[in-house]
Amino acid sequence: SSELAQDPAVSVALGQTARIKCQGDTLRGYHATWYQQKPGQAPVLVISAKDHRPSGIPDRFSASRSGDTASLTITGAQAGDEGDYYCNSRDTSGGLLFGGGTHLTVL
Amino acid sequence: QLQLQESGPGLVKPSETLSLTCAVSGGSISSSYYYWGWIRQPPGKGLEWIGNIYFSGDIYYNPSLESRVNISMDTSKNQFSLKLSSVTAADTAVYYCATVPTGYAYGYWVDSWGQGTLVTVSS
């Protein structure tokens, strides 16, 4: 079965740039989408496939892809960016495939 | 903007069937623009896709859950439902209903989430 791998945790100094990666074979054919989740809340769409940011999401958040790896970049990280970040893509069965999540700590 | 609201029992006994409903407002469940889906998240763990249903009746399930899952829709009530049979403690999770936009060949994502409902499997 297909999988999406994420580092469990990433830390970044306040105001610096954080990069969160997502790796999987499905990303060679499909773009990744990124979500932010804070404790006790539902995930929030940050960047959908092909780098579309919903209204209200600052342009500090950007996405890229190379081969089987997608990346979420947060430029000028703020304390409010702390939380769990999940990537997702389409899997071979036609459904949604999620990465295991990355906890971002802003120091 | 679409709003989704899950409802159902918060406690289910082992071996029984978990049943949840998602009420949709702000749009029609007969829309061709969305798949209507269920996603769950065990406490302290990551997200797991359960399945999607389309207005045409097409249904897609996570292969790991397919033998126990049934998703249906009721257009007269503008809602869709999840049934998960033979539950165990491993099925304890927050269950979200969600919308997945259709028509994008390059990707697949959730653009609206319900608030989520915790279902605990315990005797």
Whether B22 has a pLDDT exceeding 80, the answer reads: yes
Residue B116, min C-alpha distance to chain A (Å): 7
Q: Percent of chain B at pLDDT above 70?
A: 100
Digit-coded pLDDT (tens) for A32-80: 999 999 999 999 999 998 788 999 999 999 999 999 999 999 999 999 9
Residue A107, amino acid: L
A24/B29 Cα distance (integer angstroms) = 32
A66/A47 Cα distance (integer angstroms) = 16
Residue B60, min C-alpha distance to chain A (Å): 7
Q: Which chain B residue has the Cα nearest residue A38?
A: B44
Residue B42, min C-alpha distance to chain A (Å): 12
B35/B54 Cα distance (integer angstroms) = 5
Taking contacts as CB-CB distances below 8 angstroms, the residues of chain A near B111 are 45, 48, 54
Q: Choose the weakest-confidence range: A14-23, B62-71, B104-113.
A: B104-113
Asked if B46 and A88 come within 8 Å (Cβ–Cβ), the reply is no
Asked if A90 and B107 come within 8 Å (Cβ–Cβ), the reply is yes
